[in-house]
Amino acid sequence: MATDLAKFAKDNGVKYFMISFTDLFGGQRAKLVPARAIADMQEDGAGFAGFATWLDLTPAHPDMLAVPDPEAVIILPWNKEIAWVPANCVMEDQPVEQAPRNVLCRLIDEAAAEGMHVKTGIEAEFFLLTPEGDQISDPYDTAAKPCYDQQAFMRRLDVIREISDHMLELGWNPYQNDHEDANGQWEMNWDFDDALRTADKHSFFKFMAKCVAEKHGFRATFMPKPIEGLTGNGCHAHISVWDAPGDKAKTNVFAGAGEGQTGELGLSERGKHFLGGIMKHASALAAITNPTVNSYKRINAPRTTSGATWAPNTVTWTGNNRTHMVRVPGPGRFELRLPDGAANPYLLQAVIIAAGLSGIRSKADPGKRHDIDMYAEGHKVKGAPKLPLNMLDALREYDKDKGLKAAMGDEFSAAYLKMKMQEWNDFCGHFSDWEKANTLDI
Ligand SMILES: [Mg+2]
């Protein structure tokens, strides 16, 4: 039986619910609802004017109702009288097809109908900046190779420990935390889970990291490249497919020695074809996994001060080697290293499933494995597509990929392309310091 949120509030001393949904640009929108009103809201949803968010709706549209998913409710570990609950958007009793959580739920159902249950783990890197957001928060964190820096870690222990404590309390099974490759950058890892659960946790993690950072007088950002010259914020996804959801999962469908170069690394035939789908649709799915103007400052970037970008620029795959777009680190799973911190948590999972399903249905071949250092020898690879160089190229690739557009949903794809093209045009109307510095005297 579904969790009764009114009873949940009474049992747990919850005074308010934050009913939250995520728009097309990845923005989290919420209403704070007193527990006395939650019973009605659980049934009917909380009302929003969709046009006021990044969805392709007009001011004339009727109320959009965000109906909470009671199984996904989380009590804020840092404010236990408030519970956050992600919601599915509905309008006039119909799901809003373009709403990201609805897109993901539909694709999960499609995969389940074919006996596939995608599980993912994500690595959501972030920076701790000053509140103004223009520099890292620790002025002493200046090493050229700051990754795993023990002393810099201790200067931000209060923040990282607090977030880790919260994840322990929530039962997410966090297992490691580290200072990442850029000055001021962090990574915290927790166990992989079903795609929808990972998307909800990913959303909540971003919210939690920002809240805890603000409490300590800092600003957490997942922006793909917040500081010029330093390594950017990736959001690598580790992907496997199982025979059943949740605790019922017994068999990893990706595990097993299939044929060819993927089989040598312990991927089954279905694993190979799923990977084939990701490779085939890579340039188009970048419009989702790398969704902002700034995303393209991380991929295709010049070498950073640490010596490597840790981000791909070409559609290639390999074994346990971090210089490619896809790494197969061990049997039964692979890591997609393309996504960045701006990726919408729901659309990220959705596009992985959409591309992977398409690959399985068409028995897609991932192509040749390149066991080389792509940062040093990438120029030797012939025939592999380069990833899009900017957001406009990515949107055009997405628009050209009819199969992926249809798999993500025609209504969603049309809305996404329209809103993102508006964003691109808005960006193009903006004048940068670089233009003045380089062309004022021409
Ligand atoms: Mg990392």
In a shared domain, residues 182 and 276: yes
In a shared domain, residues 45 and 114: no
In a shared domain, residues 84 and 183: no
d(C-alpha 324, C-alpha 378), whole Å: 9
Q: How far apart are the CA of 312 and the centre of ligand 1, in A? A: 13
Assess whether pLDDT exceeds 80 at residue 1: no
Q: How far apart are the CA of 149 and the centre of ligand 1, in A? A: 14
In a domain, 296, yes or no: yes
In a domain, 441, yes or no: no
In a domain, 267, yes or no: yes
In a shared domain, residues 56 and 194: no
Assess whether pLDDT exceeds 70 at residue 288: yes
Mean pLDDT of the chain, nearest integer: 96
In a shared domain, residues 77 and 162: no
In a shared domain, residues 221 and 270: yes
Task: State the average pLDDT over residues 31-52.
Answer: 96
Q: What is the pLDDT of residues 379-399, one digit of tens each?
A: 999 999 999 999 999 999 999
Q: What is the CATH number of the domain that holds 147?
A: 3.30.590.10
In a domain, 101, yes or no: no
In a domain, 127, yes or no: yes
Q: How far apart are the CA of 124 and the centre of ligand 1, in A? A: 8
In a shared domain, residues 428 and 286: yes
In a shared domain, residues 85 and 201: no
Q: What is the pLDDT of residues 290-315, one digit of tens each?
A: 999 999 999 988 888 888 889 999 99
What integer pLDDT is reported at residue 301 of this predicted model?
A: 83
Q: How far apart are the CA of 310 and the centre of ligand 1, in A? A: 8
In a shared domain, residues 14 and 144: no
What integer pLDDT is reported at residue 185 of this predicted model?
A: 98
Task: State the average pLDDT over residues 136-161.
Answer: 97
Number of domains in the chain: 2
Task: State the average pLDDT over residues 225-252.
Answer: 96
In a shared domain, residues 249 and 336: yes
In a shared domain, residues 298 and 423: yes
Task: State the average pLDDT over residues 2-18.
Answer: 97
Q: How far apart are the CA of 16 and the centre of ligand 1, in A? A: 35
Assess whether pLDDT exceeds 90 at residue 204: yes
In a shared domain, residues 281 and 383: yes
Q: How far apart are the CA of 293 and the centre of ligand 1, in A? A: 21
In which domain, by residue range, is 191 found?
A: 107-436
Q: How far apart are the CA of 188 and the centre of ligand 1, in A? A: 9
Q: What is the pLDDT of residues 75-113, one digit of tens each?
A: 999 999 999 999 999 999 999 999 999 999 999 999 999
Task: State the average pLDDT over residues 410-438.
Answer: 97
Q: How far apart are the CA of 113 and the centre of ligand 1, in A? A: 34
Q: How far apart are the CA of 251 and the centre of ligand 1, in A? A: 28
Of 193, 213, 166, which Cα lies nearest the Cα of 71? 193
Q: How far apart are the CA of 136 and the centre of ligand 1, in A? A: 18
Q: What is the CATH number of the domain that holds 13?
A: 3.10.20.70
d(C-alpha 111, C-alpha 242), whole Å: 11
Task: State the average pLDDT over residues 277-298.
Answer: 97
**Where does a domain end: 42, 77, 96?**
96
pLDDT-based confidence at residue 179 (cuts at 50, 70, 90): very high
Question: What is the percent of the chain where pLDDT is above 90?
Answer: 96
Task: State the average pLDDT over residues 197-208.
Answer: 98
